[in-house]
Amino acid sequence: MRLLRSTDLALRVLMRLAVSGESTPTTRDVAAGMDVPYTHLAKVVAELQHMGLLAARRGRGGGLTLTERGRTASVGAVVRAFEGDGDVVDCEGPTPCPLNSACRLRGALRRAQEAFFASLDPITVADIVAEPTGALLLGISRGADRRDV
């Protein structure tokens, strides 16, 4: 299973904001620091804001901040929200699988997908930025911030 690019970006944004302290980087700052297109990141940020995981303020002194809900958010819940609840394989697609009515693979893949999500459920955003990851992220973030000046 491979995560969607938007899921990867969402987790990386949450991690970046979790170590930013009093700093309130803008979406452009974060996009530049992550070396991703601003438009892609802006869509992810909008969804994270809609989920209540981060706050975004416009204008002078504005920027992004992680909410308490974002800090305690389950990684599994974030991944589910961005990945959706679709099957790993598309058995009903434009060319439906001829085994569809008697297939055992679809159920096995669904159980594996749920096990994947379940293994991420107890992990929070705060957990994934605990030491030594947090210090490394902070160093990367500061380097990116210095490049932008």
Report pLDDT for 91.
Answer: 79
Is the model's pLDDT at 74 over the cut of 50?
yes
- For 27-48, give one letter per residue: b (16+ CB within 10 A) or e: bebbbbbbebeeeebeebbebb
pLDDT in tens, 95-106: 888 877 788 888
| Residue showing tokens 């297939």 | 103
Q: Are the beta carbons of 132 and 13 closer than 8 angstroms?
A: no
Coil vs helix vs strand at 50? helix
- Average of per-residue pLDDT across 71-77: 96
pLDDT > 70 in the chain, percent: 91
pLDDT in tens, 14-62: 999 998 888 889 999 899 988 999 999 999 999 999 999 999 988 787 8
